[in-house]
Amino acid sequence: MADESISCHLYNSSSFFVHFPKNNFSISQTYFPMDKATPQPAMETGPEKAKASWQEYAYIKELPDDIAPFKELLQQYSKVPADKVDVLLIRTRDRLWDVVNYPCIGLWAFTKLHSTTDSRFEAATQRLLANPSKPGGTSAAILDIGCCIGQTLRHLAHKGVHPSRLYGTDLRPEFIRIGNELFGDEHRGPTFVAGDVLNADDSSMKELDGKVTIIHAAYFFHLFTWDDQVRIGERMVRFLQPGTGDAVVFGRHIGTLRPRELEVPTTRASRCYLHDGQSFQRLWDEVGSRTGTRWRVEAEMTDRLHVRFPFFGDDEKYMSFGVYQI
C-alpha cells in the first residue's frame, strides 16, 4: 500500500475502506442505472465534491461502551487483569492507528465482535467444534480473510475450537504482530499469514493452500472490482482442503439495491463493485466455471450504513451472505 495514502478499511458496521490521499481530493457521485441486460457494472461519475475533514468519520477518542464481550475475551482468554484492560486497549489502538488510519481502528470497530453474533458464524462454530478429522478426508478448519488483529479467531479459540483449525490472513503484518502481543498467544494460538490474496507471486499465501473447509470474509469483497472479486474467489477455492464438498464462504459487506461498480478513490483501483444477492450469485457462478466447482448464494440486506460517505446513497445497505458448495 502506498505510503502517500491514508487507508481506511471497513471490518465492522461503523467503518468503510477507502484510501484518502494526505492532500485533499474530490469525491464525485452521479447515479446511472445498471444495464439490466448485462451483469457489467454501471459507473458512478459526476460533479466533484470537495472532501470535508474525513477524520470526523474515522476516529473516536474514547473507548466505546458496547465492547464488554471484547473486554471479557481479554480477561478470560488472555488473562489480562480487569483493571488493566482499558489502558491496554487504548495503547493498542494507538499503535494500530500509527500503522495506518483505518476507520475500523479509529472507530474501535475491531473491538465490537459483530461477526460472532451472526447465525452463520454460530453454525460454523458448531461445525468446528463437532467435526472430527475424517481418515483420508477433510477436517473442519476456518480461514479469516482480512483478519485484522485476529480477534474473531481468538473468540473461536476461547469457545473451544482447537487452534490447529484456525487460520487468519491480513495484508498488514503489523496487525498480526500487535494482535499476538495483545492476546499473548503467539505460540499457542491460531496460525496467521501476512500476505496479499491478489498477488499470485506472494509465496506466503501458498502456506494456506489446502488448509480449510470454511472461509470467513467480513467487509472484504466490497473493496474490489468484479474482476478482482472473481480472482479472490478462485484463490479461496485453492485454500480449500482437497476433497472438500461442503465448503462455506460467509460474512458481511456493503451491498446495494442497485448492483453496480462505483468510482472510489483507492490506491489499488479506482473503483469497487457492490452486489445484491443475484449479482453475487453471478459472481460465484463465474468463480465456479473457472474452478470446476458449484456454489449457491444466500444473501440478506440488513441495516442501513451507520456511517455516511459521499459515494454511498440510500440504496447501500449491509449485506450478510453465505456461499455454499453444491
CATH number at residue 201: 3.40.50.150
pLDDT at 55: 56
The grid coordinates listed for 37 are: 441486460
Lowest mean per-residue pLDDT among 20-29, 238-247, 278-287, 315-324: 20-29
Q: Which domain holds residue 134?
A: 5-325
- pTM exceeds cut of 0.75: yes
pLDDT at 35: 34
pLDDT at 305: 76
Work out the percent of the chain whose per-residue pLDDT is above 70.
77
pLDDT at 114: 85
pLDDT at 214: 99
Rounded to whole angstroms, the Cα distance separating 134 from 157 reads 21
The chain-wide mean pLDDT, for the chain, equals: 82
Asked if 141 and 213 count as a contact pair (C-beta separation under 8 A), the reply is: yes
pLDDT at 313: 78
pLDDT at 316: 85
When mean pLDDT is compared over 183-197, 261-275, 309-323, the highest value belongs to: 183-197
Which residue matches cell numbers 482437497? 242
CB-facing half-sphere around the CA of 119: CA atoms within 13 A: 6
pLDDT bucket at 312, cuts 50 / 70 / 90: confident
With a cut of 80, say whether residue 268 has pLDDT above it. no
pLDDT at 100: 86
Buried b (16+ CB within 10 A) or exposed e, 229-254: bbbbbebbbebbbeebeebbbbbbbb
pLDDT bucket at 7, cuts 50 / 70 / 90: very low
Q: What is the pLDDT of residues 69-82, one digit of tens each?
A: 999 999 999 999 99
With a cut of 60, say whether residue 51 has pLDDT above it. no
Per DSSP bridges, beta strands 271-274 and 142-145 are unpaired
Asked if 45 and 86 count as a contact pair (C-beta separation under 8 A), the reply is: no
Mean pLDDT of 39-63: 51
Report the 3 state secondary structure along the chain: CCCCEEEECCCCCCCCCEEEECCCCEEECCCCCCCCCCCCCCCCCCCEEECCCCHHHHCCCCCCCCCHHHHHHHHHCCCCCHHHHHHHHHHHHHHHHHHCCCHHHHCCHHHCCHHHHCHHHHHHHHHHHHCCCCCCCCCCCEEEECCCCCHHHHHHHHCCCCHHHEEEEECCHHHHHHHHHHHCCCCCCCEEEECCCCCCCCHHHHHHCCCECEEEEECCHHHCCHHHHHHHHHHHHHHECCCCCCCEEEEEEEEECCCEEEECCCCCCCEEEECCHHHHHHHHHHHHHHHCCCEEEEEEEEEECCCCCCCCCCCEEEEEEEEEEC
pLDDT at 129: 96
Q: What is the pLDDT of residues 269-279, one digit of tens each?
A: 578 899 999 99
pLDDT at 34: 31
Distances (CA, A) of 47 to 17, 89, 121, 219, 250: 22, 41, 41, 28, 36
pLDDT at 307: 67
CB-facing half-sphere around the CA of 207: CA atoms within 13 A: 13
pLDDT bucket at 90, cuts 50 / 70 / 90: very high
With a cut of 80, say whether residue 44 has pLDDT above it. no
pLDDT at 135: 60
Rounded to whole angstroms, the Cα distance separating 200 from 266 reads 20
With a cut of 80, say whether residue 267 has pLDDT above it. no
Mean pLDDT of 175-192: 97
Mean pLDDT of 19-23: 34
Mean pLDDT of 42-68: 61
Asked if 221 and 232 count as a contact pair (C-beta separation under 8 A), the reply is: yes
Sign of CA dihedral 96, 100, 102, 107: positive
Tally the domains of the chain: 1
pLDDT at 265: 62
Mean pLDDT of 120-148: 88
